[in-house]
Structure 1
Amino acid sequence: MTGNDILSDQQISDYLKDLPHWREVPGGIAAAFQTKTAAAAIELFSDIAGAAEMDNHHPDVDWRYNRVFVTTTSHDAGGRVTTRDIALASKISEHAQALGASSHPELIRAVEIGIDSDDPQQIAAQWAAGLGYQKQEDGSLIDPNHRLPAIWFQETATPNPNRLHLDVWVPFSESKPVLEALGSESTDLDGQYAPSFTVATDRQGNRFCICTEQDR
């Protein structure tokens, strides 16, 4: 890996203009494909595995009937997006197109758990031990198997009474219908920090955020 291997947010955005199937998610890029049959989805899964082995760069792949969800990041670069991820994404898209798979970026989601705390260091080790998570350089916690939601601590002198909230990451290009659906449910939406994130409060005062890659 070279020093130029890690991509800036702007570089990621520029590369993704030529990769219409892919969207940026926290620490990676992701795509969702749908095939006509489950057998075709398995074939796409196999093709992805072959491309990954050839590049020695392995994405996270989730097969659900006739849908395949793929996320790629560079773990040896601290969970950042690199040129290797872009190259692999391009090959995966080629395999998907060859099988006649359709792209569904509206299905791309990533969920993190946020915890309000005036002293994150006091509680981080307990959460890591309980979940079997690993601590990251920025203080967040991740599942070493990349299956469960990450946890991050929102340090604040005035923690909210409801200390836990979900950050639901959606691609900015797909966020409008999500926010419109929430509005139709009479959810209280605070768009002060949009499009970076919009705070949603349900009818019982529980909060979650709709987050995008914009202005992060």
Structure 2
Amino acid sequence: MSDTDILSNQQLRDYLEELPHWREIPGAIAAVFQTRTSAAAIELFSDIAGAAEMDNHHPDVDWRYNRLFVSTTSHDAGGAITARDIALASKISERAEALGAKPRVDLIGAVEIGIDTDDPAAIAAQWAAGLGYKVQEDGSLADPDHRKPAIWFQQTATPNENRLHLDIWNPYSQSAKVLDALKEQGVAIDEQYAPGFYVATDRQGNRFCLCTEADR
């Protein structure tokens, strides 16, 4: 397999079995590492930058005190995950372990905004113009700087009264804890699409989806 070949869902699942620090999120794989100090986080950041330069393949890294939130995807492959991402993730994990960084799978996540519409093409460019986003090949919208949440259009002949909802991505291994917290708060949970996603409705009828990488 070439380093630039896009991985199938099964190939990605197989690779992630060997990368316990990493999980799939929309359009990328992600990990979070926690160090003892902020200085140690900077050292790990520097090691990640060195690995990225060596591979000429650069992840997104968000430094927050003693935590690094890392994600990687292949932008030249249309934002898909390739063998290069797996190789880079493996090197990052090796450097994190060498520095004694703690993986925090429980902190991996992402948020997308879903919009119900019977005609996505009629509104996609308007949202893109307002946010400075780019329209993707699949019709969704993405921030060119990869900082703001992605937007996707849920095409339906009967849009919900509340047309906007959040898709909250968590690793499947963490979903039970989140579901329990929602149920304790009296949130109605529709599990007919589980474990790929659960539709949550608050007491005022607002919806959001708890999404996982499982069974997709």
**Alignment match, 1:41:** 41
The residue aligned with 1:28 is 28
Secondary structure in structure 2 of the residue aligned to 1:193: coil
Amino acid at match of 2:82: T
Q: TM-score, normalised by structure 1?
A: 0.98
For the aligned residue pairs, the C-alpha RMSD in angstroms reads 1.2
1:96 aligns with 2:99: no
Residue 187 of structure 1 corresponds to: 187
Q: Deviation string for 1:83-114 (max 9, x for gaps)?
A: 00000000000110011000011100111000
2:169–2:211 contact (8 Å) kept in structure 1? yes
For 1:130, give the aligned amino acid: G
Tell me the residue number matched to 1:215.
215
Per the TM alignment, residue 3 of structure 1 is displaced from its structure 2 partner at its CA by 8.6
Distance in 1 separating the partners of 2:165 and 2:100: 39
The 2-side partners of 1:141 and 1:121 are apart by 12
Amino acid at match of 1:8: S
Distance 1:4 1:47, change over 3 A: closer
Q: Could you say which residue in structure 2 is the equivalent of 1:15?
A: 15
1:204 positional shift: 1.3
Retained in 1: the 8 A contact 2:35–2:100?
yes
Partners of 2:13 and 2:20 in 1: CA distance = 11
CA shift, 1:25, in A, is: 0.7
Q: CA deviation at 1:4?
A: 6.8
- Where does residue 144 of structure 1 map in the other structure? 144
Q: CA deviation at 1:173?
A: 1.5
Q: Which residue of 2 aligns with 1:130?
A: 130
SS in structure 1 opposite 2:122? helix
In percent, how many aligned pairs have the same letter? 75
Distance 1:73 1:176 in 2: 27
Which residue pairs with 1:52 in the alignment? 52
Moved more, 174-183 or 133-142: 174-183
Normalised by the length of structure 2, the TM-score is: 0.98
Which SS does the other structure have where 2:68 is aligned? strand
Q: Deviations over 1:4-34 (max 9, x none)?
A: 7210111111111111100011111000000
The one-letter amino acid of 2:64's match is R
Point out where structure 1 has 5 or more consecutive residues left out of the alignment: none
| Separation of aligned partners in 2, 1:52 and 1:141 | 26
2:79 is aligned to: 79
Tell me the amino acid that sits aligned with residue 107 of structure 2.
L
Shift of 1:59: 0.4
CA distance in 1, matches of 2:2, 2:107: 33
CA 31–3 in structure 1, closer or farther in 2 if over 3 Å, else same: closer
**Where does structure 2 lack aligned partners over 5 or more consecutive residues?**
none
> Aligned-pair distance for 1:215?
2.0
Distance in 2, Cα, partners of 1:196 & 1:79: 21
Task: Report the number of matched residues.
Answer: 216
